[in-house]
Protein backbone atom coordinates (compact mmCIF):
# COMPACT_ATOMS: atom_id res chain seq x y z
CA UNK A 1 0.00 0.00 0.00
CA UNK A 2 1.34 3.44 -0.86
CA UNK A 3 1.44 6.38 1.48
CA UNK A 4 -1.74 8.46 1.46
CA UNK A 5 -2.62 11.64 3.24
CA UNK A 6 -5.99 13.17 3.98
CA UNK A 7 -4.47 16.46 5.06
CA UNK A 8 -1.15 17.94 6.02
CA UNK A 9 -0.21 20.85 8.24
CA UNK A 10 3.12 22.40 9.26
CA UNK A 11 2.49 21.83 12.96
CA UNK A 12 0.14 19.66 14.98
CA UNK A 13 -2.64 21.63 16.67
CA UNK A 14 -2.49 21.10 20.42
CA UNK A 15 -6.10 19.87 20.42
CA UNK A 16 -5.12 16.84 18.32
CA UNK A 17 -4.10 13.29 19.17
CA UNK A 18 -1.78 11.04 17.19
CA UNK A 19 -1.92 7.26 16.92
CA UNK A 20 0.88 5.28 15.28
CA UNK A 21 0.99 1.54 14.79
CA UNK A 22 2.74 -1.30 13.03
CA UNK A 23 1.72 -4.93 12.65
CA UNK A 24 1.68 -7.89 10.26
CA UNK A 25 -0.22 -6.73 7.18
CA UNK A 26 -3.75 -8.07 6.75
CA UNK A 27 -7.14 -6.77 5.59
CA UNK A 28 -9.28 -4.71 7.93
CA UNK A 29 -6.70 -2.69 9.87
CA UNK A 30 -7.59 0.73 8.47
CA UNK A 31 -11.29 0.05 8.86
CA UNK A 32 -10.88 -1.04 12.47
CA UNK A 33 -8.81 2.03 13.38
CA UNK A 34 -11.17 4.45 11.60
CA UNK A 35 -14.20 2.86 13.27
CA UNK A 36 -12.56 3.06 16.68
CA UNK A 37 -11.84 6.76 16.23
CA UNK A 38 -15.37 7.48 15.00
CA UNK A 39 -16.88 5.48 17.86
CA UNK A 40 -15.04 7.76 20.29
CA UNK A 41 -16.63 10.83 18.69
CA UNK A 42 -13.44 11.98 16.98
CA UNK A 43 -12.67 13.19 13.48
CA UNK A 44 -9.62 12.11 11.44
CA UNK A 45 -7.70 15.12 10.11
CA UNK A 46 -4.67 13.28 8.69
CA UNK A 47 -4.08 9.63 7.85
CA UNK A 48 -0.97 8.04 6.37
CA UNK A 49 -0.17 4.39 5.86
CA UNK A 50 2.44 2.21 4.23
CA UNK A 51 2.58 -1.49 3.56
CA UNK A 52 6.07 -2.97 3.36
CA UNK A 53 5.37 -5.76 0.91
CA UNK A 54 8.84 -7.26 1.22
CA UNK A 55 8.58 -7.58 5.00
CA UNK A 56 4.82 -8.01 5.22
CA UNK A 57 4.51 -5.22 7.80
CA UNK A 58 1.87 -2.49 7.81
CA UNK A 59 2.55 0.99 9.23
CA UNK A 60 0.01 3.71 9.98
CA UNK A 61 -0.17 7.17 11.50
CA UNK A 62 -3.52 8.78 12.24
CA UNK A 63 -4.02 12.30 13.57
CA UNK A 64 -7.48 13.08 14.92
CA UNK A 65 -9.41 15.60 16.96
CA UNK A 66 -12.37 15.23 19.31
CA UNK A 67 -15.60 16.63 17.95
CA UNK A 68 -16.58 17.90 21.38
CA UNK A 69 -14.15 19.01 24.09
CA UNK A 70 -11.14 16.89 24.96
CA UNK A 71 -10.38 13.20 25.43
CA UNK A 72 -9.35 11.19 28.45
CA UNK A 73 -6.32 9.80 26.64
CA UNK A 74 -5.65 7.12 29.25
CA UNK A 75 -9.23 5.89 28.89
CA UNK A 76 -8.88 5.81 25.09
CA UNK A 77 -5.64 3.85 25.38
CA UNK A 78 -7.40 1.30 27.54
CA UNK A 79 -10.26 1.00 25.06
CA UNK A 80 -7.87 0.54 22.16
CA UNK A 81 -6.17 -2.46 23.76
CA UNK A 82 -8.77 -4.83 22.32
CA UNK A 83 -8.18 -3.64 18.77
CA UNK A 84 -4.43 -3.79 19.33
CA UNK A 85 -4.63 -7.39 20.50
CA UNK A 86 -6.83 -8.43 17.59
CA UNK A 87 -4.30 -7.22 15.02
CA UNK A 88 -1.10 -7.78 17.07
CA UNK A 89 -0.32 -4.09 16.96
CA UNK A 90 2.76 -2.30 18.25
CA UNK A 91 1.24 1.11 18.87
CA UNK A 92 1.55 4.48 20.55
CA UNK A 93 -1.02 7.19 21.25
CA UNK A 94 0.06 10.71 22.22
CA UNK A 95 -1.68 13.90 23.17
CA UNK A 96 -0.25 16.69 20.98
CA UNK A 97 -0.65 19.16 23.85
CA UNK A 98 2.01 17.34 25.87
CA UNK A 99 5.48 18.53 24.90
CA UNK A 100 8.15 15.85 24.95
CA UNK A 101 10.84 16.43 27.53
CA UNK A 102 14.21 16.69 25.78
CA UNK A 103 17.81 16.55 26.99
CA UNK A 104 20.50 17.88 24.65
CA UNK A 105 24.08 16.60 24.77
CA UNK A 106 26.79 18.77 23.22
CA UNK A 107 30.55 19.30 23.23
CA UNK A 108 32.19 22.43 21.80
CA UNK A 109 30.36 23.02 18.50
CA UNK A 110 27.26 25.10 19.25
CA UNK A 111 25.48 25.43 15.91
CA UNK A 112 23.06 22.51 16.36
CA UNK A 113 22.42 23.41 20.00
CA UNK A 114 21.66 27.03 19.09
CA UNK A 115 19.34 25.94 16.29
CA UNK A 116 17.38 23.54 18.50
CA UNK A 117 17.06 26.03 21.35
CA UNK A 118 15.91 28.75 18.97
CA UNK A 119 13.31 26.49 17.34
CA UNK A 120 12.06 25.31 20.73
CA UNK A 121 11.87 28.88 22.04
CA UNK A 122 10.02 30.11 18.94
CA UNK A 123 7.55 27.23 18.94
CA UNK A 124 8.81 25.65 15.73
CA UNK A 125 9.58 22.52 17.77
CA UNK A 126 6.94 21.42 20.24
CA UNK A 127 9.48 20.29 22.84
CA UNK A 128 10.47 21.23 26.36
CA UNK A 129 14.25 21.30 26.69
CA UNK A 130 14.88 20.27 30.28
CA UNK A 131 18.66 20.65 30.28
CA UNK A 132 21.86 20.79 28.25
CA UNK A 133 24.70 18.51 29.35
CA UNK A 134 28.23 18.84 27.97
CA UNK A 135 31.64 17.31 28.48
CA UNK A 136 33.04 20.85 28.15
CA UNK A 137 31.97 24.09 29.90
CA UNK A 138 32.16 26.28 26.78
CA UNK A 139 28.47 26.38 25.77
CA UNK A 140 27.01 27.14 29.18
CA UNK A 141 26.58 30.77 28.18
CA UNK A 142 24.48 29.73 25.17
CA UNK A 143 22.15 27.62 27.31
CA UNK A 144 21.86 30.52 29.75
CA UNK A 145 20.69 32.76 26.90
CA UNK A 146 17.61 30.56 26.56
CA UNK A 147 17.25 30.05 30.35
CA UNK A 148 17.93 26.32 29.98
CA UNK A 149 19.83 24.58 32.82
CA UNK A 150 23.38 23.62 31.85
CA UNK A 151 25.47 20.91 33.43
CA UNK A 152 29.13 20.15 32.82
CA UNK A 153 30.03 16.45 33.13
CA UNK A 154 33.69 15.96 32.12
CA UNK A 155 34.54 12.68 30.39
CA UNK A 156 37.92 10.97 30.39
CA UNK A 157 38.75 7.31 29.75
CA UNK A 158 39.03 6.86 33.51
CA UNK A 159 35.74 8.64 34.36
CA UNK A 160 33.60 7.52 31.41
CA UNK A 161 31.58 4.96 33.38
CA UNK A 162 30.85 7.45 36.16
CA UNK A 163 29.97 10.18 33.65
CA UNK A 164 27.46 7.89 31.94
CA UNK A 165 26.00 6.96 35.32
CA UNK A 166 25.48 10.67 36.04
CA UNK A 167 23.90 11.10 32.62
CA UNK A 168 21.46 8.23 33.18
CA UNK A 169 20.57 9.62 36.60
CA UNK A 170 19.77 12.99 35.04
CA UNK A 171 17.63 11.31 32.37
CA UNK A 172 15.64 9.49 35.05
CA UNK A 173 15.30 12.47 37.39
CA UNK A 174 14.20 14.81 34.60
CA UNK A 175 11.84 12.19 33.11
CA UNK A 176 13.41 12.65 29.68
CA UNK A 177 11.50 11.40 26.64
CA UNK A 178 14.21 12.10 24.05
CA UNK A 179 17.99 12.56 24.20
CA UNK A 180 19.52 14.57 21.34
CA UNK A 181 23.23 14.35 20.61
CA UNK A 182 23.81 17.76 19.03
CA UNK A 183 27.46 17.21 18.05
CA UNK A 184 28.30 15.42 21.30
CA UNK A 185 31.79 14.18 20.52
CA UNK A 186 31.78 11.14 22.77
CA UNK A 187 31.15 7.51 21.89
CA UNK A 188 28.42 6.14 24.14
CA UNK A 189 28.89 2.71 25.66
CA UNK A 190 26.89 -0.21 24.27
CA UNK A 191 25.03 -0.49 27.58
CA UNK A 192 23.96 3.17 27.49
CA UNK A 193 22.92 2.90 23.83
CA UNK A 194 20.73 -0.09 24.64
CA UNK A 195 19.07 1.76 27.52
CA UNK A 196 18.32 4.70 25.22
CA UNK A 197 17.13 2.59 22.29
CA UNK A 198 14.50 4.40 20.24
CA UNK A 199 14.77 7.61 22.26
CA UNK A 200 18.18 9.03 21.35
CA UNK A 201 18.98 10.83 18.09
CA UNK A 202 22.46 11.68 16.83
CA UNK A 203 23.64 13.96 14.04
CA UNK A 204 26.54 12.74 11.94
CA UNK A 205 28.59 15.23 9.97
CA UNK A 206 28.43 13.44 6.61
CA UNK A 207 26.31 11.21 4.43
CA UNK A 208 26.98 7.97 6.28
CA UNK A 209 29.22 6.08 5.95
CA UNK A 210 31.48 8.51 4.04
CA UNK A 211 34.31 10.56 5.54
CA UNK A 212 34.35 9.17 9.05
CA UNK A 213 36.76 10.47 11.65
CA UNK A 214 38.33 13.88 12.17
CA UNK A 215 37.79 16.93 9.93
CA UNK A 216 35.16 15.36 7.64
CA UNK A 217 34.52 18.52 5.66
CA UNK A 218 38.23 18.97 5.06
CA UNK A 219 38.32 15.39 3.80
CA UNK A 220 35.42 16.14 1.47
CA UNK A 221 37.10 19.33 0.28
CA UNK A 222 40.37 17.54 -0.38
CA UNK A 223 38.54 14.84 -2.35
CA UNK A 224 36.76 17.42 -4.46
CA UNK A 225 33.29 16.06 -3.80
CA UNK A 226 30.33 17.81 -5.38
CA UNK A 227 27.74 17.02 -2.72
CA UNK A 228 28.11 17.15 1.07
CA UNK A 229 25.54 16.16 3.63
CA UNK A 230 24.56 15.29 7.17
CA UNK A 231 22.72 12.30 8.63
CA UNK A 232 20.35 12.21 11.62
CA UNK A 233 19.86 8.72 12.98
CA UNK A 234 18.85 6.78 16.05
CA UNK A 235 21.65 5.82 18.42
CA UNK A 236 22.52 2.12 18.60
CA UNK A 237 25.48 0.13 19.94
CA UNK A 238 26.73 -0.09 16.33
CA UNK A 239 28.59 3.20 15.95
CA UNK A 240 26.94 5.52 13.40
CA UNK A 241 24.87 2.68 11.97
CA UNK A 242 21.51 3.32 13.62
CA UNK A 243 18.30 3.66 11.59
CA UNK A 244 18.45 6.85 9.52
CA UNK A 245 15.67 9.39 10.06
CA UNK A 246 16.75 12.25 7.79
CA UNK A 247 19.61 13.35 5.55
CA UNK A 248 20.33 16.82 4.14
CA UNK A 249 22.59 17.57 1.18
CA UNK A 250 24.14 20.63 -0.48
CA UNK A 251 25.94 20.90 -3.81
CA UNK A 252 29.40 22.45 -3.73
CA UNK A 253 31.88 23.41 -6.42
CA UNK A 254 35.58 23.97 -7.03
CA UNK A 255 35.44 27.68 -6.24
CA UNK A 256 34.42 27.18 -2.62
CA UNK A 257 36.97 27.27 0.18
CA UNK A 258 37.24 24.62 2.88
CA UNK A 259 35.76 27.12 5.35
CA UNK A 260 32.76 27.68 3.07
CA UNK A 261 32.23 23.94 2.69
CA UNK A 262 32.39 23.53 6.47
CA UNK A 263 29.75 26.22 7.01
CA UNK A 264 27.42 24.65 4.47
CA UNK A 265 27.96 21.31 6.16
CA UNK A 266 26.99 22.72 9.53
CA UNK A 267 23.84 24.18 7.99
CA UNK A 268 22.98 20.67 6.79
CA UNK A 269 23.53 19.31 10.28
CA UNK A 270 21.10 21.82 11.80
CA UNK A 271 18.47 21.12 9.17
CA UNK A 272 18.66 17.33 9.31
CA UNK A 273 18.72 17.22 13.11
CA UNK A 274 15.83 19.63 13.61
CA UNK A 275 13.69 17.70 11.13
CA UNK A 276 14.51 14.41 12.84
CA UNK A 277 13.64 15.83 16.27
CA UNK A 278 10.40 17.30 14.99
CA UNK A 279 9.30 14.14 13.21
CA UNK A 280 10.16 11.97 16.21
CA UNK A 281 8.35 14.17 18.71
CA UNK A 282 5.31 14.42 16.42
CA UNK A 283 5.14 10.62 16.32
CA UNK A 284 5.99 10.50 12.60
CA UNK A 285 8.84 7.96 12.74
CA UNK A 286 8.32 4.21 12.95
CA UNK A 287 11.09 1.63 13.02
CA UNK A 288 11.21 -1.00 10.30
CA UNK A 289 14.17 -3.14 11.31
CA UNK A 290 17.32 -1.19 10.39
CA UNK A 291 15.22 1.29 8.41
CA UNK A 292 12.61 3.86 9.31
CA UNK A 293 9.21 4.76 7.95
CA UNK A 294 8.84 8.54 8.17
CA UNK A 295 5.39 10.06 7.66
CA UNK A 296 6.45 13.64 6.92
240 catalytic residue (yes or no)? yes
Are 176 and 99 spatial neighbours (Cβ–Cβ below 8 Å)? Answer: no
Q: Are residues 34 and 152 in the same domain?
A: no
Are 33 and 89 spatial neighbours (Cβ–Cβ below 8 Å)? Answer: no
Q: Are residues 248 and 146 in the same domain?
A: yes
The CATH number for 167's domain is 3.40.50.170
Are 132 and 149 spatial neighbours (Cβ–Cβ below 8 Å)? Answer: yes
Are 113 and 142 spatial neighbours (Cβ–Cβ below 8 Å)? Answer: yes
Are 274 and 111 spatial neighbours (Cβ–Cβ below 8 Å)? Answer: no
Structural domain range at position 225:
100-294
Examine residue 11 and state whether it is found in any structural domain, yes or no. Answer: no
Q: Are residues 105 and 119 in the same domain?
A: yes
| Short-list 41, 50, 1, 26, CA closest to 284 | 50
Provide the 10 A C-beta neighbour count for residue 107: 18
Q: Are residues 105 and 89 in the same domain?
A: no
Question: Pick from 95, 118, 144: which residue ends a domain?
Answer: 95
The CATH number for 81's domain is 3.30.70.260
**Which H, E and C letters describe 52-80, residue by residue?**
ECCCCEEEEEEEEEECCCCCCHHHHHHHH
Q: Are residues 105 and 118 in the same domain?
A: yes
How many Å separate Cα 60 from the centre of its chain? 18
Helices of type H across 105-215: 111-122, 140-145, 160-173, 190-195
What are the pLDDT tens digits along the chain (296 aa)?
444 444 434 567 668 999 999 999 999 999 999 999 999 999 999 999 999 998 999 999 999 999 987 888 899 999 999 999 999 999 999 998 899 999 999 999 999 999 999 999 999 999 999 999 999 999 999 999 999 999 999 999 999 999 999 999 999 999 999 999 999 999 999 999 999 999 999 999 877 556 667 787 788 778 777 888 899 999 999 877 889 999 999 998 999 999 999 999 999 999 999 999 999 999 999 999 888 999 99
Q: How many structural domains are present in the chain? A: 2
The partner residues of 47 in beta bridges, in order of sequence, read 62
128, 240, 267, 288: the active-site residue = 240
Amino acid sequence: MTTTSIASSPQIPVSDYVLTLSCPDRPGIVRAVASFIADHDCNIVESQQFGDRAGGIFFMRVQFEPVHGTLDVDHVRGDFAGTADRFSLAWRLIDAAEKQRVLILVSKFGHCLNDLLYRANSGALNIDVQAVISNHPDLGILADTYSVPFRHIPVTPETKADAEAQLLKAIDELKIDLVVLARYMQILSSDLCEQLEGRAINIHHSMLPSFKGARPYRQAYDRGVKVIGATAHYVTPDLDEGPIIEQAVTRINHAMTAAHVTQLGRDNECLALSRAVRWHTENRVLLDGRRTVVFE
